[in-house]
Amino acid sequence: MPKKVIFSITGMHCASCAMNAENALKQTHGVVSAAVNIANEKAAVEYEPLSVTLEQLYNVINGIGYKAVPAGEDGSGPEVYAYDNIRKQAWEWRSSFLWALLFCTPLLYLSMGQHIGLPVVVHNNFKNALLQLLLSTPVLILGRGFYVRGIAAVIKSRRANMDTLIATGTGTAYVYSVIITLLILLKTPGFTAHMVYYETAAVLVMFMMLGKWLESAAKTRASGAIEKLVKLQPETVIIEDKDNGEKVVGINLVQPGDVVVLKPGTRVPVDGKVIAGMSAVDESVITGESVPVDKRPGDRVVSGTFNKNGILKFVAEVVGEKTVLRQIVKLVENAQMTKAPVQRVADTVSSYFVPGVIIIAVLTFILWMALTQDAVRAFTAMVTVMVVACPCALGLATPAAVMVATGVAAQNGILIKSADAIQMLDEVDTVVFDKTGTLTTGEMSVEKVIPALEWSEDELLRFAVSLEKLSEHPVAGAVVKYAVTNHLLDNGKGEGSASDFVNHEGEGVKGVVQNRVVVVGKKGFLSKVGVSEVNIATIITSAAQNAVSQGKSVVWIGVDSIIAGIVIVGDKVKPGGRDVVERITKTGKEVYMLTGDNPRAAEEVGKLVNIKMGNIIADVLPKDKAAQVEKLMLNKRKVAMVGDGINDAPVLAIADVGIAIGTGTDIAVESADVVLMSDNIGAVSTALSIGYHAMVKIKQNIAWAFAYNILLIPLAAGGYYLLTGVQFEPMLAGFAMAMSSVSVVTNSLALYLVDYNAG
């Protein structure tokens, strides 16, 4: 059975690097799928362990010039490593840039100072060229990584990358300048210090360092969401020791069953159940809800949440990689490793980009030589083309935005499982809500019990509860809870045992209690199984009609083929239900409600939340809900289905995007593409808003990356000279190239500034 592993890769500096690593992994025998993300410098690989080992996968990466950082078999690994590494890179690039700037400042004075009216300090041609050589060489040594990686990419993987372009362009300029310097030394006629390109090579490398520094700094901010989540888990835990009282242990030593002592102002280290104490716990990092939740014995606490004011003792139940916090980290990390469909075009272009640029550069040199016979101009144009091209912007267009969007979503208590889901959240034009537990609280409560004249309320409930206690339906639970709460079963008799129990999903239940056939469910179901509607008491009929008109549910009870009474059960619309429907409708999307309840009850809820009557689909059995969604999809609608994630699993799976309402702990809803960590219905519109704004940024990034290269490569090749009579300088090209990828990441970071809850 295939396994999946996520591990870090160091040494990648561009989209072509990521593409080379990804292709190398995909071509490895035993690899089912592979994705390499340049934004967070990680690889996600699905592989057959019988055909290839983890060590062999790492060797594949090491063999093409990069370094694989091992992860655990479960794919967890040291998540923070990649982000610490990106931060470390930012500081290293900053240091290299500042040193390069120190050398490039006098170098620029020597080479170009006289062009802006500065006095010439070194008149001797050879001394001038030699001094430029001495000043530029340390800069190239500082940037030696560009040359090592650029050459290694061609030799080891037979694929060029952005470093290859930089190495070729600046290396050619440097070697050319060294040759000119030697010719000046040999006093060859016609050669002067004005003909060297040391400053071009050095300043270009300096600009690359500047760009990498700014890009790494931006990527550190973009990738901060997972790092913050990981660091929410404390490193030490206080546990009760039967012999020595309390003791402090490392988080990795906590075992299920340990009693954890949680002091005020500390974070919950593992998942568990409270056994003593009372406190308010801030769960906003998990659910996105800012209001603290009171915790008492019997309540659950989850890792990463913050204990505000009381001392709690709880039994550790889930530790290590299985805690809610670690599962969230995995889901967000996995989502960041996926690619949105819109990125595939950019990836295809990137795979041909560098070879194409090299061909264009060579053709540019040939064309300039043919037209001008000026080797200096031809050489300058060729170098400028190689330097100005930027595959990085294309490669970062989607990953940078996905990384920020999934982080923003997690901070709002929303787990988006893939880049595909982000794109689909933007594309959906129809949102279908399940009613019970989604638009309504799902906490059904009995409002009235009306028995037939020959029955008492106690007797009626005893027969009903004998069956309802065997059902998992929320209405059944409400009936049982009502009977227990009101002590109607504590008269020495209690409810009876049921035999021949049959559950007709979505309709009702049937069984034998005390040798009597009992049926509980919808009125139509009772008729279907032979319960007579003759001689139903007027009070029952009238009460049932009135309840239905108010949007309440009516549970009919039949004993021995005769109607014995009804139970009226009500549900409440969730706070914010109407608001979220109106917010979604304002965006131009159609909102539907899907329910197994009767039409009158469904319409009542529809009125309360402002869903159009024509968009309410009622009386639908659970097994038929998926067919209703399919019907909408067959009408060329892009459908988002919102449900509770358990009862609605089939329909969540079949929709274009399934959105599951979670509970704060139920995050592994396999059938959903998006999981809301709280029952706040407003998070649905927040998720849709995140999808919309993320796709805006992705499209902007891709458009910018294409526009940049389509516009500047022709300008660098000679278009700028044709327009202005001035040749596009390599140094200006280098600065533009450095800033292009920075602009993509910076544009993605703007997602942090959006108000996703605005109307």
Cα distance between residue 593 and residue 574, in whole Å: 14
Cα distance between residue 126 and residue 196, in whole Å: 11
From first CA to last CA, the distance across the chain in angstroms is: 47
Pair 433, 439: CB distance under 8 Å: yes
Radius of gyration of the chain (CA): 34
**294 bridge partner residues:** 280
Cα distance between residue 164 and residue 150, in whole Å: 4
Q: Which helix (H) or strand (E) holds 3?
A: strand 3-10
Cβ neighbours, 10 Å, residue 301: 27
Backbone angles phi, psi at 149, to 5 degrees: -70, -40
The residue from 434, 644, 673, 679 that is catalytic is 434
Helix and strand numbers, DSSP H then E, in the chain: 25, 27
Number of residues assigned to the chain? 759
For residues 394-429, one letter each, b for 16 or more C-beta atoms within 10 angstroms of the residue's C-beta and e for the rest, the string is bbbbbbbbbbbbbbbbbebbbbbbbbbbbbbbbebe
Pair 694, 749: CB distance under 8 Å: no
Residue 587, token pair as written in the block = 């965006």
Backbone angles phi, psi at 577, to 5 degrees: -60, -45
Pair 443, 571: CB distance under 8 Å: yes
∠117-120-124 over CA atoms, to 5°? 150
Cα distance between residue 460 and residue 474, in whole Å: 19
> Quick check: helix, strand or coil at residue 706?
helix
∠99-104-105 over CA atoms, to 5°? 105
CA distance readout (Å), 371 to 101, 176, 718, 728: 37, 22, 11, 17
Cα distance between residue 406 and residue 417, in whole Å: 8
- Beta carbons within 8 Å of 686's beta carbon, 6+ residues apart: 412, 414, 756, 757
Cα distance between residue 689 and residue 655, in whole Å: 19
Cα distance between residue 660 and residue 328, in whole Å: 15
Cβ neighbours, 10 Å, residue 595: 23
Pair 642, 632: CB distance under 8 Å: no
Pair 495, 526: CB distance under 8 Å: no
Cα distance between residue 546 and residue 551, in whole Å: 9
Residue 388, token pair as written in the block = 């100005």
What is the DSSP pairing of strand 42-47 with strand 562-570? unpaired
CA distance readout (Å), 492 to 466, 480, 489: 15, 17, 8
What is the DSSP pairing of strand 590-594 with strand 266-267? unpaired
Residue 130, token pair as written in the block = 């030699």
What letter does residue 717 receive in the DSSP assignment?
I
Q: Is 241 a catalytic residue?
A: no
Q: Which residue matches tokens 């062999």?
A: 56
Instruction: Give rounded-to-5 percent helix, strand, coil for the chain.
Output: 55, 20, 30
User: Which residues are catalytic, by number?
Assistant: 434
